[in-house]
Amino acid sequence: MIKVSVIYPSSPSVHFDHDYYRTRHLPLIKSSMGAGLKYYAIDKGLSGGTADTPATYVAACHLMCDSMEAYQSSFGPHAGEIRGDIRNFTDVTPIVQISEVVVENSTKG
């Protein structure tokens, strides 16, 4: 399984509408990708490693897919529309990273 992480760097003046991200943007990705997306996760940045340090990233989502090919074939045709929606919730350009999921959940062995 692979994880496509879309990670939004933070800054003191960052604009990010977490509500739109959760209720509109990720559902748009889900409906666009269909069965190519196994599931997604959403993070909201709270802090650095201790509560008194700033978060490096304001938010992130993680798109779980069976393979790189499953991601490309389901996301690719909708990439323009999905990327065009970013301006509706933030002024940040995200980092995109594709990872191999070595351990999805350690309690599941």
Q: 3-state DSSP call for residue 19?
A: helix
Q: What span, in angstroms and rounded, lies between the C-alpha atoms of 3 and 21?
A: 18
Q: What span, in angstroms and rounded, lies between the C-alpha atoms of 64 and 108?
A: 16
Binding-site member from 34, 49, 80, 84 for a second copy (CB under 8 A): 49
Q: Are 30 and 21 in contact (CB under 8 A)?
A: no
Nearer to a second copy by Cβ, of 67 and 88: the residue is 67
Nearer to a second copy by Cβ, of 3 and 89: the residue is 3
Nearer to a second copy by Cβ, of 15 and 30: the residue is 30
- Positive or negative, the CA dihedral 50, 12, 22, 82 is negative
Q: Is 25 exposed, middle or buried (0-12, 13-18, 19+ CB in 10 A)?
A: buried
Report which residue type is found at 67.
S
| In the complex, minimum distance from the CB of residue 10 to a second copy, in angstroms, rounded to a whole number | 9
Q: Is 106 in the site for a second copy (CB under 8 A)?
A: yes
Binding-site member from 44, 66, 67, 81 for a second copy (CB under 8 A): 44
Which x/- pattern, by CB under 8 A, does the window 65-84 give for a second copy?
A: ---x----------------
In the complex, the residues that contact a second copy under the rule CB under 8 A are 2-5, 18, 22, 26, 30, 38-49, 51, 55-57, 60, 68, 95-108
